[in-house]
Every structure is written in structure tokens, then in C-alpha cells.
Amino acid sequence: MTTTRVPTGINLVFRVISRMMVALLVSLPIIALGVALIIYSQTDGSVPIWTGFAALISGLLLLILGFYMTAVGAFPKPTLGQGEEVQIERHPTMKPAYARIVVALPLFFISAVLYVATDFAYIFPFITFLIGSWLFFKGTMRYFRNLHITYIVTDRRAIYMFKFLYLHTNEIPVGRIVQISEKRTLIEALTGRGTVVVSSGIGSRMTISMEEIDNPGSVAEALRSMLPSTREA
């Protein structure tokens, strides 16, 4: 007999809406910028109309992708066995995504100031806008990607799950784990994140890398405490 942990009723509705708010917040400014550029290009010949359409299409695509991914990500966790309990559930940390988005916002402001309030050649605000757009896009894509990667540790297994256009899962029973290791770069160590690698043998299907998770030490310790050798000791 199995039970499935699925959000239902009002909880499911709020969960979907809360995640879609992020898609709206990151997409609407780009859509508004596109509309503004299209309107402005009609009165100022120095502004190419294609820049407005490019921003508008990018914003709409980002909005559609965000709605789809957030809706999919709000649904169903793996089926749990009789008496099986979830010990830890994590997504990759959103810190790198937030950092890129936060850095991009001042660049957009600088671009606007250079364009409106200075006599610099248009190439300068274009370059800062291009860099800001790249960082903003990378940050939002990292956010949506991390949102749909889930690492779950139960009292019986470690599970990796990715949901987008398809569902991909990989799991390792606790009794088959032969190695648990931690990886951290200097920046990850300073920001309290890292990677926990769980292996039951050689090969990608026998390894789960819980990448860029917050407080990886507690995850590794929880896994070690469930190993048969640890319990026997």
C-alpha cells in the first residue's frame, strides 16, 4: 500500500498562484519595456522599432515559460511507501539566481540614465542594457530551473526529481549507499551552500548529486545517520 503526498484544494491553488507571481514580476517589466520602446520609436527615429519587438517577444516567451514551469512544479511529489517518512526536502539554492537579477536591475537604471540624461553615444546605454538583460535572463532561467529540481531524503532512500516537459527521477535506497561526499567551492563555503554526492556504485544512474543546496552538511549527516553500519554502531 502506498500514499501520495499531493497538495489539494485551497493549498494547491495558493501554491500555484504564489509561484506564478514570480513569473509575472520578472516578465511584466520586460513586456512594458518592449511596449514603451515601440511607442517611443514612433516619435524618435533614433530608436529602432525592432528593439521594442525583441523585448516584447522576450517578455512574452519568458511569461509563457514561467507560467508553464511554475504550474508543473507546483504538483505532486513521489509516491511514498507504507510508513515511509520524508526527512529532508530541498531545491537548489536560489542565491545565484537572485544575485544575477539584483545586479541586472542597476544596469537597467544606468542604461536609462545614459540614454535619457546624457549625451553619450547610444552604444554605451546599449552595452549596459545588453549586459543587464543577459544577467537578468540568466538569473530568471536559473530560478525556474532550480524551482523544478527537487532533492528528497526519506528514511529509506535518496531521490532526485526533475519536472519540465517530462518527469525524470533517480533514487538510491539507503541500504545500497556506499559513499557520501561533500563538495564546496570557496564562494559556496562562504555562502553556506554546496553539493552532496550520494553513490551506490559507478555510473550516473548510481549517483545522485544534490547540487547547490543550502546547509549541505546537515543533509550529508542525515544520510550518514541512516546507513546500516551507523545504525548498528
* 3-class SS of residue 148: coil
Residue 139 has a pLDDT of 92
Residue 74 has a pLDDT of 58
* 3-class SS of residue 163: strand
Assign 155 a pLDDT band (cuts: 50, 70, 90): confident
| Pairwise CA distance, residues 215 & 225, whole Å | 16
Residue 1 has a pLDDT of 37
> Could you tell me which residue, 97 or 6, shows the higher pLDDT?
97
- What are the tens digits of pLDDT across the range 143-152? 888 888 999 9
Cell of 81: 511507501
| Pairwise CA distance, residues 12 & 158, whole Å | 25
> Could you tell me which residue, 47 or 7, shows the higher pLDDT?
47
Q: For 2-52, give the DSSP string.
A: EEE----HHHHHHHHHHHHHHHHHHHHHHHHHHHHHHHHHHH-TTS-HHHH
Burial 93-103 (b: 16+ CB within 10 A, else e): bbbbbeebbee
Of the candidates 191, 163, 202, 2, which has an alpha carbon nearest to the alpha carbon of residue 68? 163
- What are the tens digits of pLDDT across the range 69-124? 666 655 666 777 888 888 888 889 998 899 999 999 999 899 888 887 887 877 88
Residue 101 has a pLDDT of 92
- What are the tens digits of pLDDT across the range 163-183? 876 778 888 998 888 889 999
